[in-house]
């Protein structure tokens, strides 16, 4: 996510440390996940029954949550999201050796030269523009796969020019197939304030899909903006709007799908 104030990533913790109230004399900020009584999203700690049911193996969730990180800086959501997926692909295998280090955000963005990625997530940007469009995200991901010799995974993009019934049906089909397979991952390029009550947007943002619950028609977003958010469920219709809504700098978002090709 791109913010005016640079923020540090916060390490995922299984222990809830507490909540902070508004400062005395200040107006109360809006609820974090949308209007009180009708939130846009529901945090995972409030709704985790899907992942507790043995009938739901959720292969992507368990691989990604193992390597869940927050973005290192205010511009680097793409780096955190891609680093998570690289680790889920290459560091959740049974044949790992003691020398197999996990991928780290700083090393990934330094080593991968595609798409002028490092410049785009650094203040000043590339040719004056920071952040990535959906197409530039794919270029960076392809560069990362090539840089680290991951040759048996491919990428594809899907955007949704209209937030209509046909698009909703297609999005549901893509995420249902993703949830049933342990051979693919999905990155979201979306309008974050479409899923939360963040007051400063519109912000283009990038995070992985953790799971999809077909029964409730909800998607689990592993939001890498860890200074402000944790994993949260959002209705598919709401997600489609966040994917479809364009911004002046980045156009429309969409899905980047990584799929393993080798057996």
pLDDT digits 0-9 by tens, 128-152: 999 999 999 999 999 999 999 999 9
Q: If we measure between CA atoms, which residue out of 254, 122, 141 comes closest to residue 191? A: 254
Q: What is the dihedral of CA 247, 9, 67, 199, to 10 degrees?
A: -40
Cβ atoms of 55 and 44 closer than 8 Å: no
Q: How far apart are alpha carbons 96 and 87 in whole angstroms?
A: 12
How many CB atoms within 10 Å of residue 35?
10
Higher pLDDT: 123 or 27? It is 123
- CA distance to 32, 66, 140, 146, per residue, from 117 (Å): 30, 25, 6, 14
Distance CA 129, CA 121 (A): 9
Question: Of 4-8, 146-150, 164-168, 257-261, where does mean pLDDT reach its minimum?
Answer: 4-8
Is the CB of residue 122 less than 8 Å from the CB of residue 106?
no
Task: Evaluate whether 166 touches 248 at the Cβ level (below 8 Å).
Answer: no
Cis peptide preceding 234, ω within 30 of 0: no
Among 31-40, 69-78, 208-217, 238-247, the range scoring the smallest mean pLDDT is: 31-40
Tell me what the pLDDT averaged over the chain comes to. Answer: 89
Paired strand residues for 255: 158, 188
Within the chain, strands assigned E span 41-43, 153-158, 184-191, 204-213, 218-221, 232-235, 254-260
Position 30 scores a pLDDT of: 84
pLDDT of residue 5: 34
Reading the block at residue 59, the tokens are: 């292969």
**What's the pTM value of the predicted model, to 2 decimals?**
0.89
Per-residue pLDDT tens for 49-103? 999 999 999 999 999 999 999 999 999 999 999 999 999 999 999 999 999 999 9
Above 70 in pLDDT, residue 217?
yes
161-168, Cβ contacts within 8 angstroms, sequence gap of 24 or more:
161/244, 161/252, 162/244, 163/240, 163/241, 163/244, 167/240, 167/244, 168/236, 168/237, 168/240
Within the chain, where are the H helices? 49-52, 59-65, 77-90, 105-111, 117-120, 134-147, 165-180, 236-244
Q: What is the pLDDT of residue 199?
A: 67
Write down the pLDDT at residue 26: 58
pLDDT in tens, 8-48: 333 223 222 333 333 444 577 888 998 889 999 999 999 99
pLDDT of residue 263: 73
Domains within the chain, CATH numbers bracketed? 41-93+101-260 (3.90.70.30)
């Amino acid at each position: 996510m791109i913010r005016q104030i640079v923020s540090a990533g916060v390490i995922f913790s299984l222990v809830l440390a507490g909540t902070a109230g508004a400062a005395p004399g200040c107006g109360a900020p809006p609820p974090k996940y949308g209007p009180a009584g009708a939130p846009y999203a529901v945090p995972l700690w409030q709704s985790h029954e899907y992942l507790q049911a043995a009938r739901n193996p959720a292969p992507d969730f368990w691989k990604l949550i193992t390597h869940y990180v927050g973005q290192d800086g205010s511009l680097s959501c793409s780096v955190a999201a891609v680093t998570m997926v690289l680790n889920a692909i290459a560091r959740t295998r049974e044949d790992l050796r003691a020398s197999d280090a996990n991928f780290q955000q700083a090393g990934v963005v330094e080593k991968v030269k595609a798409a002028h990625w490092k410049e785009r997530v650094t203040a000043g940007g590339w040719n004056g523009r920071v952040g990535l469009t959906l197409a530039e995200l794919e270029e960076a991901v392809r560069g990362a796969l090539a840089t680290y010799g991951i040759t048996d995974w491919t990428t594809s993009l899907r955007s949704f020019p209209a937030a209509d019934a046909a698009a909703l049906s297609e999005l549901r089909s893509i995420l249902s197939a993703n949830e049933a397979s342990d051979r693919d991952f999905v990155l979201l390029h979306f309008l974050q304030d479409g899923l939360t009550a963040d007051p400063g947007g519109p912000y283009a943002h990038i995070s992985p899909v953790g799971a999809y619950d077909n029964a409730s028609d909800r998607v689990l977003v592993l939001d890498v903006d860890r200074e402000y958010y944790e994993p949260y469920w959002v209705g598919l219709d709401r997600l489609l709007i966040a994917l479809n809504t364009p911004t002046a700098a980045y156009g429309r978002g969409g899905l980047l799908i990584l799929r393993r090709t080798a057996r």
